Amino acid sequence: MAKVAIYLNFQGKTEEAFNFYKSIFNTEFSADIFRMGGMGSPELPEEDKNKVMHVALPTLNGVEIRGTDNLESMGHFTKIGNNTTIYLEPDTREETERIFGLLAEGGSDLAPLAEQMWGALWGCCLDKYGIRWMLNFPLKK
């Protein structure tokens, strides 16, 4: 079944923010918090290894908020405009490719659709109106 979520980026405050949101919505995280150190990247500075790579929290009516820490060590800085992304998980690979292609048309590919280490086809683009979209299609269900 297709999913929609709102993805939030923070500058090292994801866990703090999500614990705050958890108290508001009275829900639990959908899964354990995945840390940056879990990627196994030897280039990652020690101070970044405990930062949040992914967290998800149900809010209302099945809608999740998801979040990550932007890493200054990788040149990523959070600001108004890159702090919120609409996350879509279509039902098929074809639909994922179609939607991404149309959203990226006239905009910019921040990360073109590609198969990722977590077993999904994933990409992120900025549409021609300046709205960020992230598409993810799990390759193994």
Could you read off the pLDDT of 23-35 as tens digits, one per residue?
A: 999 999 999 999 9
What digits encode the pLDDT tens for the residues 83-141? Answer: 999 999 999 999 999 999 999 999 887 899 999 988 999 999 999 988 899 999 999 85
Q: Which of 115, 134, 141 is nearest to 54 (CA)?
A: 134
Domain CATH number, residue 85:
3.10.180.10
Domain count of the chain? 1
Q: Which of 20, 75, 73 is nearest to 51 (CA)?
A: 73
Taken as a whole, the chain contains a residue count of 141
**pLDDT number for residue 141:** 59
Residue 63: domain span: 3-138
**pLDDT number for residue 103:** 94
> What is the pTM assigned to this prediction?
0.81
Distance of alpha carbon 72 from alpha carbon 88, whole angstroms: 26
pLDDT at 17 over 80: yes
